[in-house]
Amino acid sequence: MGFKCIRPIPTPDEVKEELPLSSSALETKEKRDRCIREVFENKSDKKIIIIGPCSADNEDSVMDYMVRLAALADQVSDKLILIPRIYTNKPRTTGEGYKGMLHQPDICDEPNMHKGIYSIRKLHKRLIEETGLTAADEMLYPENCRYLDDILAYHAVGARSVENQEHRLIASGINEPIGMKNPTSGDLNVMLNSIKAAQLPHRFILNGFEVQTDGNPLAHAILRGAINHYGTNIPNYHYEDLVKLSERYLAGGQKNPAVIVDSNHANSMKNWQEQPRIAKEVMHHARSSETVNRMVKGLMIESYLMDGAQPETGTNYGQSITDGCLGWEKTERLVLELADMVR
């Protein structure tokens, strides 16, 4: 067989025991979870903004960004709930390129997933204990979910994973909201089937045990645009797209119809500078239509300290090494504008 064992990996319980959350951090998470849940249960009129770097590539610059974000979150707390985007796993279409902090905790070094597991938990732990915020991360590897399941505010299943059975089953046992992206093809059936599966209870094998889940009623859609057979990006954030999704939700029997709109990726035609325009257009649709307003729970925005992106070997502090991001000044201005647009 073509597998070579490199080193043993600690269990989630072992990592949690070595890097536990303080009692105050647990209280903070419980309070944040309740506020976020109320948005998805239509008990709060606030909107959620999942915002931060495309990839969390450096602990120092990420925490620099997050300290600024925490101050901004306080300014808009009456209208918006800011959930930091700390994505520590990165899917790669061809398998090449930076795969995230879990794989490479030090970007210049060889992959080291033993060290990476501790690095990502340390970063998320620092966030909640130093800023009072709890973050979103992508559930790229379902079997790794338990390393962070006590610390995250939000989980996302990416466009390349949304049809995978294991992702759907694990999602059904998560307590926090979990967003299911439409696949790159744009097929809404795939996304809606995934949402319904995650909302139902399941019994399956996990880590050597037969387990039972209750289902996650907070599983919902993320619209990220599509890519057609010719490789052309096709947005799906326009008013007609949102109305169509609402109709499909009603016909499909999913609980709590909800969507987060991704302002980057195929929706922005891979142009990070389009994000403010897209985000404000979606908020305008929500202000104009009660149906859209009720379904749209918020936005996903890629943002870092510096505008744009740089090569993986770049040395610009706080500039993305994956997708291009809004810099801090543009981010701050946009978040304040979005808060003013909440109904």
| Residue among 306, 325, 319, 314 at smallest CA distance from 265 | 325
Residue 97 has pLDDT above 90, yes or no: no
Residue 158 has pLDDT above 70, yes or no: yes
Would you kindly state where each structural domain of the chain is located, as residue ranges? 24-341
| CATH architecture under which domain 24-341 falls | Alpha-Beta Barrel (3.20)
Handedness of CA 253, 254, 258, 259 (dihedral sign): negative
pLDDT digits (tens, 9 = 90+) for 41-53: 999 999 999 999 9
pLDDT digits (tens, 9 = 90+) for 258-309: 999 999 999 999 999 999 999 999 999 999 999 999 999 999 999 999 999 9
Residue 256 has pLDDT above 90, yes or no: no
pLDDT digits (tens, 9 = 90+) for 166-219: 999 999 999 999 999 999 999 999 999 999 999 999 999 988 899 999 999 999
* 237 vs 77: CA distance, rounded Å: 25
Span 247-256, mean pLDDT? 87
Span 19-42, mean pLDDT? 97
Phi-psi region of 129 (alpha: psi -120 to 50; beta: other; left: phi over 0): alpha
